[in-house]
Amino acid sequence: AEFVALQWLRQHGFAAPAPIAVLEQRQLGFLVRATILTEAFPGRAADQALRAAAPAERATIVTAIREFVRRLHAAGFRDRNLDLRNLLVAHDERGFTIAKIDSPRHRLRRPGRVDDALARADWARLEPQLAAFELRAGN
C-alpha cells in the first residue's frame, strides 16, 4: 500500500520519494515484515525542521504544510497517518517543498471534495501537532 501511495502522489504532482521496491516476509501466508526501498529525498522530517527553524521560518513551514494537505485532500487523497514525522520539508531558492511518506493506510476519494470524515480525521490528527509549533513561534 505504501508503494502504491508513493506512486499515486508522484503521478498527481506531489513531492514524494520515488519507490523502488518492496520486500515482504510472510509466514503461513501472513505478512510479518515489509520494507520499502525508495530513492533518497532531500530535507528532513517536518517535526525536526520545525524544531530547528527560527520563529518566522516556522510560521512559513506550518503554512506550507497546511497548503500541502489542502491540495492532497482536493486531489482525493486521505492519508490516515498524517503526522509531522511523516512529512518531509525541503528548502531551496523557490521556498519550502513538503513531501509525504509513510501512507500505508491511505484512501482515495473523488477529487474536489475536501470535507468528509477521513479528511476531518487527517486534520484532527495533524492540527494539534502544528499548533504546538505555532505556540512556540512567538518565543
What distances in angstroms separate CA 139 from CA 26, 35, 41, 53, 56, one per listed residue?
Answer: 50, 40, 31, 12, 10
- Asked if 41 and 77 count as a contact pair (C-beta separation under 8 A), the reply is no
pLDDT digits (tens, 9 = 90+) for 43-92: 999 999 999 999 889 999 999 999 999 999 999 999 999 999 999 999 98
Predicted structure pTM score? 0.89
Q: Are 48 and 36 in contact (CB under 8 A)?
A: no
| pLDDT value, residue 138 | 46
Model confidence over 2-53: pLDDT tens digits? 999 999 999 999 999 999 999 889 999 898 998 899 999 999 999 999 999 9
| Per-residue pLDDT reduced to its tens digit, 81-125 | 999 999 999 998 889 999 999 999 999 999 998 999 999 999 999
C-alpha cell at 3: 508503494
